[in-house]
Amino acid sequence: MQLIQYPPQADWAALQQRAAAQQAHDVEQRVQQIFEDVRQRGDVALRDYARQFDRAELHDLRVSPEELAAAVVQVPAELQTAIRQAHANIWKFHATQREEEKRVETMPGVSCWRRSVPVQRVGLYIPGGTAPLFSTLLMLGVPARLAGCPEIVLTTPPQQDGSVNAVILFTAHLLGITTIIKAGGAQAVAALTGGTDSVPAVDKIFGPGNRYVTAAKQLASRYGVAIDMPAGPSEVLVIADASANPAFVAADLLSQAEHGPDSQVILLSDSMPILEATQAEVARQLAELPRAAVATQALTESRSILLRTPEEMLYFSNQYAPEHLILAVRNPEQLAEGVTSAGSVFLGHLTPEAAGDYASGTNHTLPTNGYARNYSGVSLDSFFKKITFQRITAEGLLQVGPVVETMAEAEGLRAHARAVTLRLESLAAPEQNK
């Protein structure tokens, strides 16, 4: 990790730059080509991409019921138990996010309310490759089920033998998801956007991925398909004071760095001894990781920064807007009061970010690349549309009608005013005939 001491604020923007953002323009053109190819050739294109990127020869793009059933018995009992516990915790947390339908009478006879209606067709993209993220399937599948989405389509890259990771299939079975497509990358997002013979088109696409997947989701939104957020390479920012445990901090940094070579980790501290000790711990722990090569590449774009005060560190963090923010400080609750931009926050020395990744209950599908400034992480609300309703009685129209007439006339929208005036006249007519 690069070590920077007391950088002036004029240099902060450069220090907050993500490597992925610098390369984004190289990705968009290729993703556009993939979208056009999938639109024209459908399933044939998906099979070709599976052969090219996954080295898999696919005869059927859909996981069969037999494949799904066989996968369940392949997962060790201990892992099944862990997944079921995580499922219960995630379900419990997200179930509290339900909102009651409330009717409000804004004026006598004027009633308004809002109803949550599930998105009818959702696509869940689950990364595969070197680290199949079955945990992400829990994070997306649980709120989709809680919301009552009628159609859930899962896409995930195949393994070289044409199968899908058994733990992903076990998790899908636990969630009751049966439409599972063997496709990954931008091509999977393209298929969910426009549909193919094997892949149903959906209304909204969820799930993290690499630069290509992120670019593909943003392109999908131009075709009228909603997305959860631009969720790209993983990142964490740790604020550590002199009370922090360097071994804990190093482990937190490496837990994000091992996600992928384009992940980024940032460490802020007002204590040089903590920065130095953490650097030494990173080197020691890195040597023990199976994914050391991946983490090492991510660390080349990562930084340890010495700042002067907790307030300065928090200001830097809010500008950076990290996906994950860890407050490894003496008084984390106090510092957390000032957090304005972060995907998810982890308070204190005993709250590792990994807990949120798997089983504490919060969602780990979070905005990256600075999007935490204006996006929230996935929640139950992400799977709902909020539709407003209103009903006006005769009494209500007499109350609100003149207000609407006056405002519509002031804007020069005569038809708007007339829509009210005609109704008011019809209410007055019986009185005039007496």
pLDDT digits (tens, 9 = 90+) for 111-130: 999 999 999 999 999 988 66
Please give the Cα distance from 320 to 318 (Å, whole number): 5
Average pLDDT of the chain?
A: 94
Q: What percent of the chain has pLDDT over 70?
A: 97
The active-site residue, picked from 258, 323, 353, 364, is: 323
pLDDT at 331 exceeding the cut of 90: yes
Has 173 been labeled as part of a binding site?
no
Q: What is the mean pLDDT of residues 376-390?
A: 97
Please give the Cα distance from 83 to 80 (Å, whole number): 5
The active-site residue, picked from 324, 349, 353, 395, is: 324
Q: What is the mean pLDDT of residues 320-341?
A: 97
**pLDDT at res. 434:** 43
Residues 6+ apart with CB under 8 A from 345: 325, 326, 327, 336, 339
Q: What is the mean pLDDT of residues 253-277?
A: 95
**pLDDT at res. 432:** 56
End-to-end CA distance of the chain: 88
pLDDT at 143 exceeding the cut of 80: yes
The answer to whether residues 310 and 282 touch, using CB atoms and an 8 Å cutoff, is no
In 96-160, alpha helices (H): 134-147
**pLDDT at res. 433:** 47
Q: Facing residues of 401 across strands? A: none
23 — pLDDT class (breaks 50, 70, 90):
low
Residues of the chain with CATH 3.40.50.1980: 2-18+233-361, 23-100+119-230
Has 333 been labeled as part of a binding site?
no
Choose which CATH entry (3.40.50.1980, 3.30.390.50, 3.30.160.60, 3.20.20.70) describes domain 23-100+119-230. 3.40.50.1980
Based on the residue annotation, tell me whether 87 is a catalytic residue of this protein: no
What pTM value is reported for the model? 0.92
The answer to whether residues 239 and 276 touch, using CB atoms and an 8 Å cutoff, is no
Has 416 been labeled as part of a binding site?
yes
Q: Does 231 or 177 have the greater pLDDT score?
A: 177
Has 411 been labeled as part of a binding site?
yes
The answer to whether residues 169 and 79 touch, using CB atoms and an 8 Å cutoff, is no
Has 318 been labeled as part of a binding site?
no
> What's the one-letter identity of residue 134?
F
Q: Which two tokens stand for residue 325?
A: 């923010």
**pLDDT at res. 233:** 81
**pLDDT at res. 24:** 64
Has 187 been labeled as part of a binding site?
yes
Q: What is the mean pLDDT of residues 72-101?
A: 96
CATH code linked to domain 2-18+233-361 = 3.40.50.1980
The answer to whether residues 83 and 174 touch, using CB atoms and an 8 Å cutoff, is yes
**pLDDT at res. 431:** 61
Has 197 been labeled as part of a binding site?
no
Q: What percent of the chain has pLDDT over 90?
A: 89
262 — pLDDT class (breaks 50, 70, 90):
confident
Based on the residue annotation, tell me whether 425 is a catalytic residue of this protein: no
Q: Does 301 or 391 have the greater pLDDT score?
A: 391
Has 285 been labeled as part of a binding site?
no
20 — pLDDT class (breaks 50, 70, 90):
low
Per-residue pLDDT tens over the stretch 344-374: 999 999 999 999 999 999 999 999 989 999 9
The burial of 171, by beta-carbon neighbours within 10 Å (0-12 exposed, 13-18 middle, 19 or more buried), is given as buried
Between helices 166-175 and 77-95, what is the axis angle to 10°? 40
**pLDDT at res. 21:** 53
